[in-house]
Amino acid sequence: MTITHTNHNVTNTDTVYIKLGVKELTLLNLQFTEALSYETLENLNRLKVLILFIMSSVDSTIRNMLISYNHNAMAFTDIKTALANFKDLRLQKKFFTYNNGMRKNLVCLEGTIPITYKSKTYNIPIIIWLHETHPYHAPMVFVQPTNTMNIKPGQHVAENGAVSLPYISDWQQSHSDLQTLIVVLCTVFGEAPPVFAKPKIQQTSRNQTRHPTQSPARVCPCHSHTHLRGPRAIQLPRPPTHLSLKHLVFKQPIQTMPPPQGIILMEGA
């Protein structure tokens, strides 16, 4: 969404473009005044009105995405709270295919969540699908490895990336919510990382066939704030250091000791 604001002398130019992927919405309310210089109180008041309009539009967009949901008001509150506290997740709506072949257009939270391993913070790519009966039925959670990662099946993660946890199997609308679910995921994945690096192909000589070799255990630091927006592996954003309502977003491992297969995570900058 692009908001155009003209002829109010907000800056030295006549037009201010605010491009939003929704991640910046709440952040705008708290930090936008630091990014621009306003000459008069009148201009500042105009900005506040603009921000209120943007926030109202975002809420309206979320509600429209949930229009087919049975309990959309409750789902709206649950989703907005989770997104406000995990800034690297974004809200989308796309088709999910069930095991019986049925397809439904469902809302999902997609992106990365932070885990702590050996006192360092890393990002794990996941997707959380919400049934149309949310929050009365448990979400479906999947690990989404990039094209440089493989799923590491374990107690809580299946080969296809499906996540199973007591918090999910025991889900009850009265005391279960998305924010707590994500906190549980961060804790569990910090103890048992769900992905590892794919082996690299090395060419030993011109006359020899390429053979897969195990990649050495390493940590990939993240040096940018680019978000995962597809299956390609790109640098992950800095994970949040604490939970706060400063971030609203629409909005896809780590070496074990000893390393069996060169486990790799993306380290937050």
Regarding whether 130 and 56 lie in a shared domain, the answer is: no
For position 152, what pLDDT does the model report?
92
Regarding whether 214 and 119 lie in a shared domain, the answer is: yes
Regarding whether 146 and 20 lie in a shared domain, the answer is: no
For position 195, what pLDDT does the model report?
85
The residue written with tokens 């690096």 in the block is 197
**What does the block give as tokens for 48?**
């506040």
Q: What φ, ψ does residue 176 adopt, rounded to 5°?
A: -120, 145
Regarding whether 56 and 33 lie in a shared domain, the answer is: yes
Regarding whether 219 and 126 lie in a shared domain, the answer is: yes
For position 133, what pLDDT does the model report?
97
**Chosen domain end from 46, 64, 82:** 64
**Chosen domain end from 64, 98, 118:** 64
For position 135, what pLDDT does the model report?
97
With beta carbons less than 8 A apart as the criterion, state whether 168 and 157 touch. no
Regarding whether 113 and 14 lie in a shared domain, the answer is: no
For position 247, what pLDDT does the model report?
38
Regarding whether 28 and 152 lie in a shared domain, the answer is: no
For position 227, what pLDDT does the model report?
36
What's the burial of 186, exposed, middle or buried (CB within 10 Å: 0-12/13-18/19+)? middle
Helix, strand, or coil here: 165? coil
Closest CA to 251 of 132, 137, 84, 134: 84
- CATH code at 134? 3.10.110.10
For position 77, what pLDDT does the model report?
95
Regarding whether 193 and 116 lie in a shared domain, the answer is: yes
**Chosen domain end from 37, 64, 91:** 64
Helix, strand, or coil here: 262? coil
- Per residue of the chain (269 residues), what is the pLDDT tens digit? 433 333 443 333 333 334 455 445 555 554 554 555 545 566 666 666 666 656 666 788 899 999 999 999 999 999 999 999 999 999 999 999 998 999 999 999 999 999 988 788 889 999 999 999 999 999 999 999 998 888 999 999 999 999 999 999 999 999 999 999 999 999 999 999 998 878 877 334 444 544 444 433 333 333 333 333 333 433 434 444 444 333 333 343 433 334 334 444 555 54
Which one-letter DSSP state was computed for residue 242? S
What's the domain range around 117? 70-201+210-267
Regarding whether 113 and 24 lie in a shared domain, the answer is: no
Closest CA to 141 of 68, 194, 101: 194
Helix, strand, or coil here: 159? coil
Regarding whether 50 and 76 lie in a shared domain, the answer is: no
Helix ranges (DSSP H) in the chain: 25-35, 41-65, 72-85, 166-169, 178-191
Regarding whether 58 and 12 lie in a shared domain, the answer is: yes
Regarding whether 32 and 85 lie in a shared domain, the answer is: no
How many domains in the chain?
A: 2
